[in-house]
Amino acid sequence: MRLYIIRHGETEWNKVKRLQGQTDIPLAEEGIRLARETGVGMKDIPIDLVISSPLTRAFQTAQLLTEGRDIPILTDERIIEISFGAWEGECILDSEVLPPDFRRLFYEDPLHCICPPGGETFSDVCKRTGAFYQSLLNNPDYAEKNILISTHGAASRCLLTQFYEDKNDIWRGGVPKNCAVTMVEVLGGVGTVVAKDRLFYE
């Protein structure tokens, strides 16, 4: 099994650094362009199946990337973005609502980041994305498949902890760029990252 894990294209909230979480924000024009260009760049890569977060920005990315190709797209709630609860829509740069230490902890020590009211912790997201990955491993129909996984910044990084011995370094260099693709080869039930944050657009 080979996995192509992609972060969705850019949204208007991405541009201004708002916490999107599970708020359903569509792609901006630039996000549509990036997704289409990524699809062109990946046109020669065989993809058997797409599994997307149900949020519009991820599903749109999956649709645009596979435009003109007869590839089924499924959705799975377990790869939806981290929930920021009551803080969704707040700007991480200048919010008067977010705790003073939130931004630093979010980027530098996410496993100890303050949990938003009604939201999730990074540990929560690691658990559900881990359960998603195990469901792929346990499905014999997927053993030889090339699967595109269209998801989000934090959710994709939490999913990637499945493939590293160090489970504490969530970001591994930072939030992935929009439409960055990480490739994972799964052999004998063991997943190995073979390319990280590859960009297929100019």
Catalytically annotated residues: 8, 81
Extract the tokens encoding 167: 């489970």
State which amino acid sits at residue 107: Y
DSSP-derived 3-state class of residue 28: coil
CA distance 163 to 185: 10
Q: Residue 140 corresponds to which tokens in the numbers above?
A: 């014999």
Phi (first) and psi of residue 9, to 5 degrees = -70, 175
Place of tokens 């919010």: 95
Q: Which of 108, 186, 117, 120 is nearest to 149 (CA)?
A: 186
Q: Is 99 helix (H, G, I), strand (E, B) or coil?
A: coil
**DSSP annotation string for 115-171:** PPTT---HHHHHHHHHHHHHHHHT-GGGTT-EEEEEE-HHHHHHHHGGG-S-SS--S
